[in-house]
Structure 1
Amino acid sequence: MTDSSTPDIVYTKVDEAPELASASLLPIIQKFAAAAGVSVGRKDISLAGRILAAFPDHLTEEQRIADDLAILGDLVKTPEANVIKLPNISASVPQLVAAISELQAQGYAVPDYPESPSTDAEKAARAAYDAIKGSAVNPVLREGNSDRRAAAAVKNYAQNNPHRMGDWSADSKTRVASMSGNDFFSNEKSATLDKAATAKIVLETTSGETVLKEGISYPAGTVVDATFMSAKALNAFLAEEIEATKADDGVLFSLHMKATMMKVSDPIIFGHAVRAWLQPVFDAHGPALKALGVNPNSGLGDLLERAKDSREIMADIEKVRAERPPMYMVNSDRGITNLHVPSDVIIDASMPALIRNGGKGWGPNGEEADTVCVIPDNSYAPVYDETIEFFKANGKLNPATAGTVQNLGLMAQKAEEYGSHPTTFEIPEDGTVRMILDDGTVLHEHAVEAGDIWRSASTRKAPIEDWVNLAIDRQKATGFRSIFWLDENRAHDAQLLNYVLPILEAKGVADKFEIMAPREATRASLETITKGDNTIAITGNVLRDYLTDLFPILELATSAKMLSIVKLMQGGGLFETGAGGSAPKHVQQLQEENHLRWDSLGEFCALGESFKFLADARGNAKARILGEAVEAATQGVLDHDRSPGRKVGQPDNRDSHYWFARYWAEALAAQSEDADLAAEFAPVAQALAENEAQILSELDTAQGEPADIGGYYHPDPAKLAQVMRPSATLNAIIG
């Protein structure tokens, strides 16, 4: 079992590229932190770790691990919490199945993922796995609202070293396509509870009543939403957009979803798109595809693998493909399409990248082309539509002169967990869904048809009030233009405004804030940063997720370098280190070439804030000096261009960690506030400087050959350490 004790700073164990980088960076952090009497330990929230923690009865005593996510879930509700959270996998079903398979091959007897559970054991396994997939980590840890922005050093560097932006033309055919009605946006209902209540969700049909969920507890003041997307309307929309894209000769068809965070709703919508793309094949071979175990929700890649031995089905697939418009590709060299895997194209990463590239996506011929961006639900699609239209009219953003968009996001206590919340259902038959309170009140109801996707989410009073007060504090501290991205004509947003406006009025600051629907707020924000000015976007949870990729990718070329501070409502701190959307490609490159291009700048930013928070919380003056020195080291990495290169043979993540350690040690040796720290790190700084050539040579020599880390989802710690710490000289200095 893993140690259940809690270190001063928890540095999370995660997945993919951030976890590879941790094998190199964490020993450095622990070495430096020890000088201030600060312990830095780990808790495992990786996908593999969560799987193992869920099935202790299937494992040997030596294989069992603690449920670290549950432990952290308790910790973040205390004032003592100080957690550095790296990006973890929000698993789609294909990723979950792949992780299970890898663990089984390593000797862990976890059960298979049951697609269609029938026995009690299979049903129990399925329930456990369903709790793991999707955005299972963030709702547990985010017991506070988000304050996310570009650190001053990062923004200054981006302006002094502007990244390449694709050119936009006024006649670009790139556009966003969304449903005109009968989607989540248009069908939404919302109400605020005047007292605490328990609710159940039932489906009433001609054959009787089915309880979909019961025992849902809400405190007084909770905003409760319910809505649904019509399957018929979705299918008609997808069919229309496929034909419309085909009519625009050469334009790519693309679907942009979040089948990870929206772990119930979006995989279903994705499956509808796969079926729509191959509708003639499903019409002709429906029973055969079912017999092969084909589930469109798993993607085109899974379908092709299952059907590869059927000459007739494959021939019809190729025939349909030839009749379809060209598709946006994940990897055109390998033939991996937009519809291959539900987790391959994640909207908050894919749309900003396409926009940064002048609206161009990669087609099956390996060339760039304009793209139709299909985003079925109209709740937040207008943000991307307005961004595209703005750049068509005004040309690309200039990162050298652009201002910044900071974000304050409402996310505490599972606020607005649309789609990933366990109150999302695919409706089995026609009827009426009702949400009924314990006193018999029908809070919400919708007439639905078989296949419709119905969902509910809630937002509690305390997080809303905390969010508004956080916005007031941030606006006062910066003086920036501050906009609440709320649409008074949307049911949920209207309920939030019933909280927002009275608080602003009571505090006498209503004149400091603007209220705009997302489309109008998008245009206002783009106009503001184009002029070189700054703005604060005060948003709900999903927009927080989307905007903290969109604007950083436009401003900085990446969202991984953002400073993300979560002021936990019970007084602790959670420091997030950026996005992980490109992490899979980074792992693949390491395995093939032993080059890791992951940039740990987000980790550096979070680390400095974590030390300073600890200093204030514990009265540890040495920790504050460490934090300030981290900021100096981060500035040094940027000023001297020590970030990783993209190609093998260039300096990579491990090189950047050497330079970070050196600049950190030099800053500590040079400071005069604490003589003991200066004396301790002066020889470290000297050794790192004197051995520069040897260390860099050892790091460079490691590149170029395939690297064996013992697993993708569950690497072998010894092999990983050998790959990520190849400099014996550096290791000897760090210890």
Structure 2
Amino acid sequence: MADQNTPDIIYTKVDEAPELASYSLLPIIRSFAAAAGVSVGIKDISLAGRIIAAFSDHLTEDQRQSDDLAALGELVKTPEANVIKLPNISASVPQLVAAVKELQAQGYALPDYPESPETDEEKAVRARYDTIKGSAVNPVLREGNSDRRAAAAVKKYAQNNPHRMGDWSADSKTRVATMGSGDFFSNEVSATLDSAATAKIVHTAADGTETVLKDAVSYPAGTVVDATYMSASALDAFLAEEIEKTKAEGTLFSLHMKATMMKVSDPIIFGHAVKAWLAPVFDQYGDKMKDLGVDPNGGLGALLDKVKDEPEIMQAIEAVRDQRPPMYMVNSDKGITNLHVPSDVIIDASMPALIRAGGKGWGPDGNEHDTNCVIPDSSYAPVYDETIKYFKETGKLDPATAGTVQNIGLMAQKAEEYGSHPTTFEIPADGTVKMVLEDGTVLHEHSVKAGDIWRSASARKAPIEDWVQLAIDRQKAEGCEAIFWLDANRAHDAELIAYVKPILEAKGVADKFQIMAPREATRQTLETIRQGKTSIAITGNVLRDYLTDLFPILELATSAKMLSIVKLMQGGGLFETGAGGSAPKHVQQLVEENHLRWDSLGEFCALGESLKFLADARDNEKARVLGEAVEVATQGVLDNNKSPDRKVGQPDNRDSHYYFALYWAQALAEQSQDAELAAHFAGIAKALAENEEKITADFAAVQGAPVDIGGYYHPDEAKTAAVMRPSQTLNDIIG
């Protein structure tokens, strides 16, 4: 059970632009919620907060923090959970190292991140840090499956104010390149366990040496357990071939990965791409670069920093660059390439942006070009491949008339690939890898070579059944097309289909659903929304992530404005607020120009749902009135074009929060369900309206000059609050 002192709603402290915005928005939320007797607490799941909590024994009493992520992990397993989760950093190694350095500079006596641990102490430190990097937060909090869709107000606004879409041409050279053999998809095996079991993962080298890679991996009955590997030699051959093909085609070379969530496998694959790009340099200077501390998994940026004082190596790198095709750029002005940092190009954000732009990516010359989109594993590459082929044939989508794609995603209890980090390994020597059950049964077995990437993932029975029921409920509510994106020819998907079909038949709704492989489902779904209709995509965990960026970016221009409800399996609620893909650029702009263009619409949507959920859970009708008024306020922000603009001197995030507060207060003052609340907010609404000119002038006055917030990963609270709350008039009104 949750602690009796647990606040009614937990609002998460996170990172980057969403966290900066919280300094402005959260005081408004707390003030308004208090009028309904609703308490709003904070739990720190930021990257810096997680680092501090993990190493509190190294810190002073004043610096220590409790492990809020662990506490939230327990809370979401109770019916009392009501959590508004903002996007947090799923840290790559370069981000983790940068955060540690910043905290050290602030006086936190943290150990350095050991890139190549040798002593037992270094290995223990590395193990602690490894629990923080990558997707450390979402698997802990997502004790339920995902229901994501565009809020009605957001969809209506997007249709009435369609965003710009790039033009597609039939002769576009943009394409997707994927392995097709030797990859995770082609090597996958899967089985459903009849009874609870404990497994160990054993590597047996060619000389007979046995190494237990992971022991005591426990699974409840009914768990779908997968195992697969990617061949390092097949990956290297594929990358070398695609670099040459890209040059011949005259397009940009780009690699699209998820090195944040897939924190073991994808950084290794990324490192292979760096080595392939600089193959002649590694052939000649590999040993010397290793001595200099070069790790290709860290990216080209870190590599260049390590060798900058080695003129021979730098000359060799320049020579190779001249022989390579131009590369897709993160920032062409600053020379930051696709291969600079593994977390800079994240597939679920980068591919939709490129598709929305008509298949164009930014090149080193600062212009847009057709692009070879390299996605090594072929599990989900067909989704993007088919989307590109479709738009080449039919032309761009019209957001003014497009329908919408909702998503029901299987993600509870570390489902599927995103929960595979502890069971992913780079193979040390030729041999075999086996998953062996405690009774000696070999569940899965692969022959592997040194350098191959082997992994196991799983999906439990209870989340799968909950996912299917959630899909049934959503389809009944919408009465529209509903597709399970499952490929009968993929080992894992075949096991899921064996769950899905009997449940649909037992519920008498089998005729309401289709089961289609991702490629075919992609084309049908695009046809459906082109006709202005709704489709429900019912997917696994990774496709949930990919599709809930792809379709919203095409429909709405952003995925940050989606309604994202996680119905926790024990009865609580988790309300997610959208993606934070462009958050770093937003922080940079704030620091340089004191303009924050982050749009908090996702937070508004999550807040309304959280309040209405609270009303039902706690029988608090005042909370329901507040939640319904949030929807009115959100519609007001959209209808009156009060969302943040992009450029300094224009209204920004702080302005949008003021107008949200104004419309929220006005909606509460004008409602008739609760006279006490109406009376309370009448004066607030009047004061906010009468002081509009003064408040917006306060915001405008501070823009244009650099500001100091005391840090990127761990900003100073007082400095950040001063920057984000510059209108004393507004602060006084909301109290």
For Structure 1 versus Structure 2, the TM-score category normalised by the shorter chain is: over 0.9
What's the secondary structure of 2:45's corresponding residue?
coil
Which digits, 9 at most, give the CA deviation of each residue in 1:284-303, with x for residues without a partner? 11111011100000000000
The CA distance in 2 between the partners of 1:398 and 1:361, in whole Å, is 21
CA shift in 2, pair 1:418/1:31, >3 Å: closer
Contact 1:266 1:419 in 2 (8 A): no
Name the residue aligned to 1:190.
190
- Structure 2 gap segments, 5+ residues each: none
Aligned-pair Cα RMSD in Å: 0.8
AA at the equivalent of 1:223: V
Name the residue aligned to 1:163.
163
Name the residue aligned to 2:96.
96
Q: Does 1:60 align with 2:60?
A: yes
What's the secondary structure of 1:706's corresponding residue?
coil
CA shift in 2, pair 1:419/1:458, >3 Å: closer
The CA distance in 1 between the partners of 2:348 and 2:418, in whole Å, is 15
The CA distance in 2 between the partners of 1:462 and 1:468, in whole Å, is 10
The CA distance in 1 between the partners of 2:375 and 2:286, in whole Å, is 27
Name the residue aligned to 2:602.
602
The CA distance in 2 between the partners of 1:397 and 1:133, in whole Å, is 37
Q: Does 1:456 align with 2:459?
A: no
Name the residue aligned to 1:211.
212
Name the residue aligned to 1:11.
11
Name the residue aligned to 1:235.
236
Name the residue aligned to 2:534.
534
The CA distance in 1 between the partners of 2:411 and 2:249, in whole Å, is 40
Contact 2:135 2:418 in 1 (8 A): no
Name the residue aligned to 1:428.
428
Residue 648 of structure 1 and its aligned partner are, at CA, apart by 0.5
Which digits, 9 at most, give the CA deviation of each residue in 1:482-537, with x for residues without a partner? 00000001000000011000000001100000000000000000000001111000
Residue 207 of structure 1 and its aligned partner are, at CA, apart by 4.2
What's the secondary structure of 2:565's corresponding residue?
strand
Residue 119 of structure 1 and its aligned partner are, at CA, apart by 1.7
Name the residue aligned to 1:343.
343
Which digits, 9 at most, give the CA deviation of each residue in 1:128-186, with x for residues without a partner? 10010000000000000000000000000000000000000000000000002010000
Q: Does 1:679 align with 2:674?
A: no
Name the residue aligned to 1:265.
265
Matches within 5 A, 1:582-597: 582-597=582-597
Name the residue aligned to 2:362.
362
AA at the equivalent of 1:401: T
Contact 1:193 1:220 in 2 (8 A): yes
What's the secondary structure of 2:421's corresponding residue?
coil
Which digits, 9 at most, give the CA deviation of each residue in 1:632-688, with x for residues without a partner? 000000000000000101100000000000000000000011011001000000000
> Once the two structures are aligned, what percentage of the paired residues are identical?
81
AA at the equivalent of 1:208: T
What's the secondary structure of 1:176's corresponding residue?
strand
The CA distance in 1 between the partners of 2:172 and 2:626, in whole Å, is 50
Q: Does 1:568 align with 2:568?
A: yes
Name the residue aligned to 2:492.
492
Of residues 419-428 and 623-632 in structure 1, the stretch that sits farther from structure 2 once superposed is: 419-428
Contact 2:669 2:682 in 1 (8 A): yes
AA at the equivalent of 1:30: R
Which digits, 9 at most, give the CA deviation of each residue in 1:213-267, with x for residues without a partner? 0010000000000000000000000000000000012x10000000000000000
Residue 6 of structure 1 and its aligned partner are, at CA, apart by 2.0
Contact 1:418 1:456 in 2 (8 A): no
Name the residue aligned to 1:20.
20
CA shift in 2, pair 1:5/1:125, >3 Å: farther
The CA distance in 1 between the partners of 2:171 and 2:717, in whole Å, is 53
Residue 120 of structure 1 and its aligned partner are, at CA, apart by 1.9
AA at the equivalent of 2:625: I
Name the residue aligned to 1:648.
648
Q: Does 1:696 align with 2:696?
A: yes
Residue 113 of structure 1 and its aligned partner are, at CA, apart by 0.4
Q: Does 1:334 align with 2:314?
A: no
Contact 1:15 1:89 in 2 (8 A): yes
Residue 734 of structure 1 and its aligned partner are, at CA, apart by 1.1
What's the secondary structure of 1:422's corresponding residue?
helix
AA at the equivalent of 2:236: N
Which digits, 9 at most, give the CA deviation of each residue in 1:680-701, with x for residues without a partner? 0000000000000000000001
Name the residue aligned to 1:220.
221
Contact 1:261 1:420 in 2 (8 A): no
Matches within 5 A, 1:365-404: 365-404=365-404
CA shift in 2, pair 1:364/1:235, >3 Å: same
What's the secondary structure of 2:519's corresponding residue?
helix
AA at the equivalent of 1:103: L
Name the residue aligned to 2:713.
713
Name the residue aligned to 2:82.
82
Name the residue aligned to 1:247.
248
The CA distance in 2 between the partners of 1:245 and 1:4, in whole Å, is 61
Residue 480 of structure 1 and its aligned partner are, at CA, apart by 1.1
Residue 420 of structure 1 and its aligned partner are, at CA, apart by 4.7
Q: Does 1:321 align with 2:321?
A: yes
Which digits, 9 at most, give the CA deviation of each residue in 1:4-46, with x for residues without a partner? 9521100000000000000000000000000000000100000
Residue 441 of structure 1 and its aligned partner are, at CA, apart by 0.4
AA at the equivalent of 1:227: T
What's the secondary structure of 1:435's corresponding residue?
strand
Which digits, 9 at most, give the CA deviation of each residue in 1:384-423, with x for residues without a partner? 0000000000000000000000000000000103475210
AA at the equivalent of 2:244: E
AA at the equivalent of 1:174: T
The CA distance in 2 between the partners of 1:631 and 1:327, in whole Å, is 44
CA shift in 2, pair 1:509/1:450, >3 Å: same
AA at the equivalent of 1:430: D
Contact 1:263 1:420 in 2 (8 A): no
Residue 70 of structure 1 and its aligned partner are, at CA, apart by 0.2
What's the secondary structure of 1:489's corresponding residue?
coil
AA at the equivalent of 1:119: T
Contact 2:420 2:457 in 1 (8 A): no
Name the residue aligned to 1:143.
143
Contact 1:263 1:419 in 2 (8 A): no
CA shift in 2, pair 1:680/1:418, >3 Å: closer
Name the residue aligned to 2:154.
154
Name the residue aligned to 1:480.
480
Name the residue aligned to 1:48.
48
Contact 1:468 1:500 in 2 (8 A): yes
In the comparison of the two structures, how many residue pairs are matched? 732
Name the residue aligned to 1:282.
282
Contact 2:420 2:455 in 1 (8 A): no
Which digits, 9 at most, give the CA deviation of each residue in 1:551-575, with x for residues without a partner? 0000000000000000000000000
Residue 117 of structure 1 and its aligned partner are, at CA, apart by 1.1
The CA distance in 1 between the partners of 2:109 and 2:354, in whole Å, is 42
AA at the equivalent of 2:132: I
Matches within 5 A, 1:493-512: 493-512=493-512
Contact 2:427 2:450 in 1 (8 A): yes
The CA distance in 2 between the partners of 1:442 and 1:38, in whole Å, is 54
The CA distance in 2 between the partners of 1:121 and 1:60, in whole Å, is 21
